[in-house]
Structure formats: C-alpha cells, structure tokens
Amino acid sequence: IPKENLSKIKLFEVFVTDGDKLYRGKELLSGYDAATFRIVPGHYYYQYDKNGVYDWDKKLPFHYTNRPEYGKNFFYMDNQSLCIYEDQAYYKTYDDSLYVPHLTPEQLALLKEGNTPLRELFSSQDDKQKNKEIDTTGFEELSYPFWRHKGQIYHSTYKEWYDNDEHGWRSERKYVVVKGYDNASLKKVPNGFLADKDDWYDGTTRLFQNKDVELLAIYEGYEKGCGMDPAPVTNFYLFKNAQGYWLAELGGEGAMCPLTN
C-alpha cells in the first residue's frame, strides 16, 4: 500500500482496502470496487460494493438497478440464510438455493420479520398446497426434481427414514410450488439445466441471460469417495452467450465467474 494512502486504510475483518485496492490477507483481489467495498455486519463472508453483493468470490444473481446499501435496500437474515435486495430474494445453503426476482410488499415484510422461510412463503400462498395431498396426475417432468402442472412449477423432495415406533421404514414425497420463472416458457435444456424465455437456471439459481447460449465444455470436479461421503459432487461448466463467456462451478457452494471485460 503506498504511503500516501495509509490514511485511507479501512479494515473489514479479513479484508483491507486503501480505497484503490482491496486485499484479503496478503492476497490482492480483483472484481470489486475498492472505494465502496463493505461487508455485512457480523457476517464478513457476504460483501457488497456499488456494483453488487458477493458471497466471497461469487456475485449473487440479483438484477442490480441501484447501488446496494445495507439496511436500506439490502438486508441479510442469518437465521434464514437469506439475502434481500430491493424486491428480490436469494436463499442459499450448501445443497439448496432459490432466487426470486420479484416479491410483493407483503411478502417482503414477512421475510424481514425473520420467521418465514422463503420456500414456506410461496407454498403458503397456494391454498391447494396447504395440508392437502397433491394429485400428480398429468405432471410434466422438466428436469428432475422440477415438474410443471396446470401452469405451476413444482420442486419435489423425497425422504426415507426408519420409524422406531412403527418398527418399519417410512417415506414421504413433497411437492412445493416454485416461483421466479416464466412458467409457460420454462423447459429442460442440455445437461439438466432449465431455461425460460429470459434466463438459464441451475435448479432455482439464475445463471445468465438466455440469448445465443452454448455449453462449450464440462470439467470434472470433486467426485464422491464412497456412498457415505457427505461432500457434494462439483463440476465446472464453460458457457458462452450473447454477453460473453461464463465459468460456473456447480454443486456444493457453487460459483459463477464472467470471463468478460
């Protein structure tokens, strides 16, 4: 750091900036705006600057229109693993994610109270979903575990467990309404991805604009060592679209890196 910038130094947990450059420890970082760089209070693994919100090196898939300002148009609920920017929401855990591009003021208020999970919010809006088995007759499989039926998109989950009281195995399958896509145009595209008229998705995670998309290469990443290995399988995907090139690490935490100027 140049001597003339020493008075400008700001420390954010493991990050240091002099207003011109940003470091994590001794590592010089790129891709951030150093002058406006900040971290989410108490959760330094989430950062933001004038251009976006980041989970370490991954830029969250919001449609950015205004500069993110924590506590004004950007919020993080740790107990829900949920980020809110403007009227959009992004939920992410190690094995699940959901991006919602538009929420009503009522939905935003419920989420900001911190007691309503994002998925529960959507399922609770559909009275047919509530406390009632879903008739799966006529369900159209898009890309497992996503289905379309009567204009709605569903995500299915299946679990199996041993019931000690009944002394036998039990299973349960649930279908939850998922919103955020253009339902009418949503379809399966190569390698299990989904796409609607606007965007490509890995499950519920928006990847990039659906315009002139090509999947150029797949690079094998981590593979499970055995059936009991809890670590998720990861692969690297090289895409091209009208905006440029994209390198995506999908599976596990996931990361998306635009290879454009």
Q: What is the pTM of this model?
A: 0.48
Q: Which residues contact 181 (CB under 8 A, 6 or more apart)?
A: 153, 194, 196, 201
Residue 260 lies in a domain: yes
Residue 228 lies in a domain: yes
More confident residue, 56 or 193: 193
pLDDT band at 241 (very low <50, low <70, confident <90, very high): very high
Choose from 37-46, 132-141, 158-167 the range with maximum mean pLDDT: 37-46
Query: Range with the lowest mean pLDDT among 2-6, 37-41, 49-53?
Result: 2-6
CA distance 75 to 83: 6
Residue 258 lies in a domain: yes
pLDDT for 76 equals: 92
Residue 155 lies in a domain: no
Residue 39 lies in a domain: no
pLDDT for 211 equals: 94
Number of folded domains in the chain? 1
- As a whole number, mean pLDDT of residues 58-83 equals 90
Q: Say how many CA atoms lie within 13 Å of 40 toward its Cβ.
A: 22
pLDDT in tens, 161-177: 666 676 667 777 788 88
Residue 240 lies in a domain: yes
pLDDT for 167 equals: 64
Residue 241 lies in a domain: yes
CA distance 105 to 40: 23
CA distance 45 to 31: 16
Answer yes or no: are the C-beta atoms of 116 and 110 closer than 8 Å. Answer: yes
Residue (of 216, 214, 182, 219) closest to 199 by Cα position: 182
Domain containing residue 234: 211-261
Residue 247 lies in a domain: yes
Mean pLDDT of the chain: 80
